[in-house]
Chains A and B, each alone.
Chain A
């Protein structure tokens, strides 16, 4: 196996594992800010307990995000040295800015969040929570800036750099703000944030729904679920709009990526259809088993039913061809999941309004597991974005004459001196470690969920004999909360 393939595999594996955590902490960060704000304003103890409980969840996820995040920063240098030399001037700046603006903020105030409950005032704790949430937002800004620059480079020029008589081209910043606000930054940033909010909301809903179903921590669970549902609904609806803007942006700046997303091989005559699903096939250059809506892609791209959208046949000579099947399926899976999130949250809202939400056990069970779909949606969105960018690590841009310049092929980006057996070794190593981390993550979340938000009193059974036993059992039974009555939940 060649070193390019292995390095791509390693990057995909490590970034996908890492990306389980950042969107969750961004999403939960917003939740924590809200809960502590309410606690500060109302003094309601339930908000305090809720804030503590979700902070514990946040802590577990943040720790894994940190542990797996440092791998990413090292990997540009270890596996993609040629890429690093080519883009360091631009891309490195964004990474350094992330360190200075985001990481110090997050890691510093996280300590107050986790260990400072008894050490600082409520107001300062709230401030620390805001700073951690802000830090995770800053972090996403700089990472998305860096990645968006790879997708739609701007504000740079190619300059010949020389080392000991060896001259080579590299990208250098000409306009910092153009680099930061390159054509895709804002669209993609909003998309990433909304994805994070959806995940945070579904995470909250999952655990709360489970408590409702198990009839535990009822008041906490009902309120958490309702809050999560509200956030999830708004974010899912907004994501539809954001998704449209992103697709539109991709059609202008990365036409071959859009063609791969849509499985659009041949330009053809007249309007271009939109495939709802299907199985793209490079051999026949078509989508098998597809259900397509005629003219819809033309409508979305050109606002006209009859203007053909450029297919890969016209684009792949200049842009190359991304892996169509993977781009198509990950893109479509993301969209279908997004639709499912909209449908399920709207339906749940309707049930909530009717007062029947918490008695629909099947719907609650759906939300217990839907968080996994939200993870999948975040991951496949990125798979579509990154696979669709291929075969480039830095996408080429048209110069004044329409000539494509400035691109760097993924195959040309790997380190000069790293050999495939080294990468294979590190893949196996990360495989072992991340498997262990995954098991730990599930174990610790499961444990924290079972412990729940209450500081539950340790019930040490009294030494009982004979008639006393029955009395003790009756006495303890009296402490069991009454079964949940759905008719009361609308209050």
Chain B
């Protein structure tokens, strides 16, 4: 295993961490407007309030690590998809502000504004991430220097939009299961129904995208033909997806959440396997692709960064665990209590 491959895997770990963790709070955001009344909405916000910021750091660190390890890919993607990244920024800024500032005053109009802000920004961010993954799968036009040659509308192709839909349904389900873990009483019973509905929507999109991928992107399925590891990941993914309804049926919401995390992580792994060794796949000229070799920093830097990650990541995991432990309890908010 060379350093380039290790960094490809580490980026996958960061992305999977982001998808699992921010995935549920994006899902909570998309479901937010379904909560009835101020107490329920405060419950939703409070369920993610202490953790969403840390969850988003996985994305920020993914960006930093991509810059450090594969600067060519970072530069090509960020400058090529200029408008998309500006939209992502708008979504992330409004999301941060909505979450942090909603409870600062008691005015209903103020709170309604940030309720809408939280929902719309979460949805927009999720769709954009999904469309991004879709384009990574189908490939984008690059010139021989590895610079993006398309426009904005190239990115909104049907396949990528379908992956956007998959991302939305997946995070809706993931968020609903998380909320079920964090709530009590009649609200929890409503959320129980949402879990089933969002699961149904997710499976529909999952099947659709899987079939279309199988038919239209042969490159993505070739690893399955050669690598038993790829098969194992695909099987784990399938088992995780299938075990969710069983856990829901038995009312094991903790296990359902774990299964949902596993399904998300396995999908990110499958994405990595489909792309490998490309970071940015060129289509229609595959030879122009940016790979983990031609887009990488020097071996020395990759080695230094591995030491940095080796020192830093155990700490990150330790205090992530501490924070989740401190805030492990269900959220209960009385209707008359206006703080929080």
List residues of chain A with CB under 8 Å of any chain B CB.
59-60, 63-64, 66-68, 70-71, 73-74, 76-79, 81-82, 84-85, 87-93, 95-101, 103-105, 107-112, 114-116, 119-120, 131, 159, 162-166, 170, 172-174, 176, 415-418, 422, 425-426, 429, 433, 437, 440, 444, 447
Which residue of B61, B294, B300, B323 is within 8 Å of A103 (Cβ)? B61
Q: Closest residue to A104 on the B side, CB-wise? A: B316
11 contacts between A and B (CB under 8 A): A79-B79, A84-B78, A88-B72, A95-B67, A96-B67, A101-B312, A105-B319, A108-B322, A164-B287, A433-B94, A444-B101
Once the chains bind, are B67 and A111 in contact (CB under 8 Å)? no
Q: How far is the CB of A25 from chain B (nearest CB, A)?
A: 13
Q: Closest residue to B150 on the A side, CB-wise? A: A417
Quick check: is B148 within 8 A (CB to CB) of the other chain? Answer: yes
With contact pairs A77-B74, A111-B54, A172-B298 given, residues A67 and B96 touching in the complex (Cβ less than 8 Å): yes
Once the chains bind, are B64 and A111 in contact (CB under 8 Å)? no
Chain B residues whose CB sits within 8 angstroms of the CB of A71 once the complex forms: 89, 93
The tally of residues in B whose CB lies under 8 Å from a CB in A reads 70
Once the chains bind, are A115 and B50 in contact (CB under 8 Å)? yes
Which residue of B49, B75, B146, B300 is within 8 Å of A84 (Cβ)? B75
Quick check: is B248 within 8 A (CB to CB) of the other chain? Answer: no
Q: Closest residue to A84 on the B side, CB-wise? A: B75
With contact pairs A67-B96, A166-B145 given, residues A89 and B78 touching in the complex (Cβ less than 8 Å): no
Q: Closest residue to B316 on the A side, CB-wise? A: A104
Which of B80-88, B176-184, B206-214, B257-265 sits within the interface? B80-88
Chain B residues whose CB sits within 8 angstroms of the CB of A425 once the complex forms: 83, 86
Q: Closest residue to B78 on the A side, CB-wise? A: A77
Quick check: is B53 within 8 A (CB to CB) of the other chain? Answer: yes
Which of B191-199, B221-229, B302-310 sits within the interface? B302-310
Q: Closest residue to B62 on the A side, CB-wise? A: A99
With contact pairs A111-B50, A159-B298 given, residues A422 and B97 touching in the complex (Cβ less than 8 Å): no
With contact pairs A103-B60, A119-B327 given, residues A88 and B145 touching in the complex (Cβ less than 8 Å): no
Chain B residues whose CB sits within 8 angstroms of the CB of A176 once the complex forms: 304
Quick check: is B71 within 8 A (CB to CB) of the other chain? Answer: yes
**Bound-complex Cα distance A67 to B287 (A):** 39
**Bound-complex Cα distance A437 to B100 (A):** 12
Interface positions of B from 264 to 297, Cβ below 8 Å from A: 287-288, 290, 294-295, 297
**Bound-complex Cα distance A351 to B304 (A):** 54
Interface positions of B from 36 to 78, Cβ below 8 Å from A: 49-51, 53-54, 56-57, 60-61, 63-65, 67-72, 74-78
Quick check: is B320 within 8 A (CB to CB) of the other chain? Answer: yes
Once the chains bind, are B146 and A100 in contact (CB under 8 Å)? no
Chain B residues whose CB sits within 8 angstroms of the CB of A417 once the complex forms: 79-80, 82, 147-149
Cβ proximity bits B97-108 to A, threshold 8 Å, 1 near / 0 not: 100110011000
Once the chains bind, are B86 and A426 in contact (CB under 8 Å)? yes
Quick check: is B144 within 8 A (CB to CB) of the other chain? Answer: yes
Once the chains bind, are A104 and B97 in contact (CB under 8 Å)? no
Q: How far is the CB of A443 from chain B (nearest CB, A)?
A: 9
**Bound-complex Cα distance A254 to B49 (A):** 46
Question: Given contacts A85-B71, A96-B61, could you give 17 more A-B pairs where the C-beta distance is less than 8 Å?
Answer: A70-B93, A77-B77, A88-B70, A92-B297, A93-B304, A93-B308, A103-B61, A104-B316, A114-B50, A163-B146, A164-B144, A164-B287, A417-B80, A417-B82, A418-B82, A422-B83, A437-B97
Chain A residues whose CB sits within 8 angstroms of the CB of B79 once the complex forms: 77-79, 81, 415-418
**Bound-complex Cα distance A64 to B320 (A):** 22
How many residue pairs between the two chains, A and B, have CB atoms under 8 Å in the bound complex?
228
**Bound-complex Cα distance A60 to B56 (A):** 18
With contact pairs A67-B93, A111-B51, A116-B326 given, residues A99 and B60 touching in the complex (Cβ less than 8 Å): yes
With contact pairs A108-B54, A111-B327, A164-B294 given, residues A88 and B312 touching in the complex (Cβ less than 8 Å): no
**Bound-complex Cα distance A85 to B75 (A):** 6
Q: Closest residue to B320 on the A side, CB-wise? A: A108
Q: How far is the CB of B48 from chain A (nearest CB, A)?
A: 10
Chain A residues whose CB sits within 8 angstroms of the CB of B305 once the complex forms: 93, 96
Chain B residues whose CB sits within 8 angstroms of the CB of A64 once the complex forms: 97
Which residue of A77, A119, A429, A437 is within 8 Å of B326 (Cβ)? A119
Chain A residues whose CB sits within 8 angstroms of the CB of B308 once the complex forms: 93, 96-97, 100-101
Quick check: is B133 within 8 A (CB to CB) of the other chain? Answer: no
With contact pairs A67-B96, A418-B82, A440-B97 given, residues A100 and B75 touching in the complex (Cβ less than 8 Å): no
6 closest A-B pairs by CB: A88-B71, A77-B78, A99-B61, A111-B50, A92-B68, A100-B312
Q: Closest residue to A56 on the B side, CB-wise? A: B104
Once the chains bind, are A100 and B101 in contact (CB under 8 Å)? no
Q: How far is the CB of A72 from chain B (nearest CB, A)?
A: 10
Quick check: is B301 within 8 A (CB to CB) of the other chain? Answer: yes
With contact pairs A103-B61, A176-B304 given, residues A163 and B294 touching in the complex (Cβ less than 8 Å): yes
Query: Which of B67, B70, B305, B312 has the largest number of chain A CB atoms within 10 A?
Result: B67
Chain A residues whose CB sits within 8 angstroms of the CB of B67 once the complex forms: 73, 76-77, 84, 88, 91-92, 95-96
Which residue of B60, B71, B82, B323 is within 8 Å of A70 (Cβ)? B60
Chain A residues whose CB sits within 8 angstroms of the CB of B92 once the complex forms: 67, 70
Once the chains bind, are A63 and B97 in contact (CB under 8 Å)? yes
Interface positions of B from 151 to 193, Cβ below 8 Å from A: none
Chain A residues whose CB sits within 8 angstroms of the CB of B319 once the complex forms: 104-105, 108-109, 131
Chain A residues whose CB sits within 8 angstroms of the CB of B148 once the complex forms: 417
Q: Closest residue to A162 on the B side, CB-wise? A: B294
Q: How far is the CB of B276 from chain A (nearest CB, A)?
A: 18
Query: Which of A76, A170, A174, A429 has the largest number of chain B CB atoms within 10 A?
Result: A76
Once the chains bind, are A164 and B68 in contact (CB under 8 Å)? no
Once the chains bind, are B300 and A172 in contact (CB under 8 Å)? yes
Once the chains bind, are B309 and A429 in contact (CB under 8 Å)? no
Chain B residues whose CB sits within 8 angstroms of the CB of A104 once the complex forms: 54, 57, 61, 312, 315-316, 319-320
**Bound-complex Cα distance A103 to B55 (A):** 11
Which residue of A81, A89, A97, A429 is within 8 Å of B76 (Cβ)? A81
Q: How far is the CB of B54 from chain A (nearest CB, A)?
A: 4
**Bound-complex Cα distance A79 to B89 (A):** 14
Which residue of B57, B74, B97 is within 8 Å of A92 (Cβ)? B74
Quick check: is B90 within 8 A (CB to CB) of the other chain? Answer: yes
With contact pairs A77-B67, A84-B74, A172-B297 given, residues A120 and B326 touching in the complex (Cβ less than 8 Å): yes
Once the chains bind, are A107 and B53 in contact (CB under 8 Å)? yes
Q: How far is the CB of A137 from chain B (nearest CB, A)?
A: 15
Q: Closest residue to B88 on the A side, CB-wise? A: A74
With contact pairs A165-B144, A433-B93 given, residues A89 and B64 touching in the complex (Cβ less than 8 Å): no
Chain A residues whose CB sits within 8 angstroms of the CB of B83 once the complex forms: 422, 425
**Bound-complex Cα distance A444 to B105 (A):** 9
Q: How far is the CB of B270 from chain A (nearest CB, A)?
A: 25
Q: How far is the CB of B114 from chain A (nearest CB, A)?
A: 10
**Bound-complex Cα distance A255 to B83 (A):** 39
**Bound-complex Cα distance A429 to B88 (A):** 12
Q: Closest residue to A120 on the B side, CB-wise? A: B326
Chain A residues whose CB sits within 8 angstroms of the CB of B65 once the complex forms: 96, 99
Once the chains bind, are B90 and A63 in contact (CB under 8 Å)? no
Q: How far is the CB of B57 from chain A (nearest CB, A)?
A: 4
**Bound-complex Cα distance A231 to B61 (A):** 34
**Bound-complex Cα distance A79 to B79 (A):** 6
Q: How far is the CB of A69 from chain B (nearest CB, A)?
A: 8
Q: Closest residue to A166 on the B side, CB-wise? A: B145
Quick check: is B313 within 8 A (CB to CB) of the other chain? Answer: yes
Chain A residues whose CB sits within 8 angstroms of the CB of B94 once the complex forms: 433
Once the chains bind, are A78 and B86 in contact (CB under 8 Å)? yes
Once the chains bind, are A429 and B287 in contact (CB under 8 Å)? no
